[in-house]
Structure 1
Amino acid sequence: MAEDMSLSSYLAQGGKLTNPSNVPPRYRAELLKLIATFVDSELAGAAGFADIINEGPGIKARIAAAKIVLEKSDNADKVLRIMGEFGADTEAYADHHPWTARLTRDADIGQSRSKHDMRLAVFNYPLEGWLDAVVMNLLMGRAVTVQLGELSQVSYQPLAEAFRSIAPIEQRHAELAEEGLTQLVENGETAQAQEAVDYWWPRVAASFGSQTSEKFDGLRAMGLRHGTNAELHDRWAADAGAILGKLGLTSGN
C-alpha cells in the first residue's frame, strides 16, 4: 500500500488485505458477519439435509446426499478456520447452536435471521421429504453459486481464496439436485415438484436481502460487496428459472 494512501482509499480502489492485524474495526465487524452467515448457513443446511438422506430413492441417491452433507460441513470448516484467525473458538463453535432447529412449515419470516445464529432465513424452514429437499437444494444451490461468485471477490484475500475453492463444490451440489429433479419429473411427479417450487422460490429469493440495501455503498467501498442485491437476485432468477423451464416447471418470477 502506498504510504500516502489511506486504508479506505486503498480498499475502495480494489486493494486486498491478507492479515487480521491489518483489518480496521468496522471492516472486521462486517467481515466476521459475512463469515458467520456463510458458516452458519452451511452447518444449518447440512444438518437439515442429513435428516433426509435415508429417504433417497436408492443407494446411489443416498450416497450422493451423504456426500453433500459431508462437503457442506467441510466448506463450513474451511471458512471457520479463517474466523479462528480473528480469535473465534473454532473447536466449540459447532456446538453452540441448534443447527437442526426449524420453524413450522407455514411460518413467514421474510429475511429475518434465526434467534440462535446467523443462518440465512431460508434455513429456518423444514424439509418435507425427498422431492421437497431436491427442489430446495436446486433453488438454493443456484443461489449459492451466484453468491459465491460475489464472495470470491471480497477484499480479504484468504477468504476470497477459500470461497473460490468452495465454489465448484457447491456448483456440483446444484447440478446433482438438477439431475435428481429431472428424474422425479420424468417419473411423473411434476405437480408435486411445482408445488415445492412455489413454496421454496420466495424463500430462496429472500436470501439475497433487501433490494435497496442502505449498507451496500459502505460495503462496496470496503471491497466486501460488488454486485447489488437486486443484480444478484436477478442473475439467480434467470438461471434457476431457465432450469425449471426446461423441466416444464414455472418459477416465481
Structure 2
Amino acid sequence: MTVPPVAFVKERHDAPPGFFEVEAAGLRWLAVPGGAPVVEPLEVSPGRLTTPRLFPVPPTGAAADELGGRLAVIHDAGARHFGVPPDGWDTDGFIGTIELPHALEPVESWGEFYATYRIQPYLRMAYDKGTIDGHQLEVFERLCRTLTAGAYDDPSERPSRIHGDLWSGNVFWSADGVYLIDPAAHGGHRETDLAMLGLFGMPQLERVLRAYNEAHPLTDGWTDRVGLHRLHPLLTHMVMFGSAYVAPALAMARKYA
C-alpha cells in the first residue's frame, strides 16, 4: 500500500491481536457530532494503523476553552454500562502496551467496575512479578472492598463515553482544533478523563476544566476524588515500569481506603 505524504503510520510488528484494531474502534466511537475532534483511522490492519498527519501549534486559551466544552459532549454521548468496550469491539483492549479489561456484561456500579476491572487485574500482575508484596497487596485490596461497597458511587453519574488514557500526550494541539489521539476508550466515569489530563501536567488545564464545568457541571467534591481516578494509570505504570510507582500508588490507595 502506498501511503500518502499527509498520513501518519503507526506500526508494531510484534503487536498482539487486536492492538490497533481496538484503537481504531475507540477513535470511531469517540467521534461524536459536536465533540472534540478525534483523529480518523484511515486504514487498520494487524500491526499497523494509518491516520491523517497532524501538525502541532502552541496551545492557546481559546483552544482550551473549546476543548473543555467539546470533551463534555463526548462524555455526554454516554455508554451502555461501565466498562463497556467501544462499538464494534467485543473483547479486551489495551492501555499502553498491556491489556485493558472490558466488562462485557453490565456491572452493578462504577465502584465495582473500578475495583474489578481497573485495580485488581494490575495488582495480580504486579504481585506475580514481585513488584509488590503481600502487605502492600492488602492495602489495595482494602480499597477495592471500599469501592465495591459503594463509598464513591453517585447514582446521578451515568456511564460516560470516555477516552480512557487522556494524559496530555494524547491531546494534540493543531491549527484546526485540539485532537484526541491514542485512546483506551470505554464506558467509564467522566472524572477519570479529567483527572488524567493533569496527571503529568498539561498546558491551559485550568481553562479546559473551567469550560468543561460550564458545559456540564461537575459533582461537588470532584477535586477530592482526582487521586482515586489517577490510581489506575499509576498501577499500569507500576506494571510496565516497576517499583518507582509503588509508593505513589500506595499513598493513593491508603487515602481512599
Q: TM-score normalized by structure 1?
A: 0.26
Structure with greater helix share of residues: 1
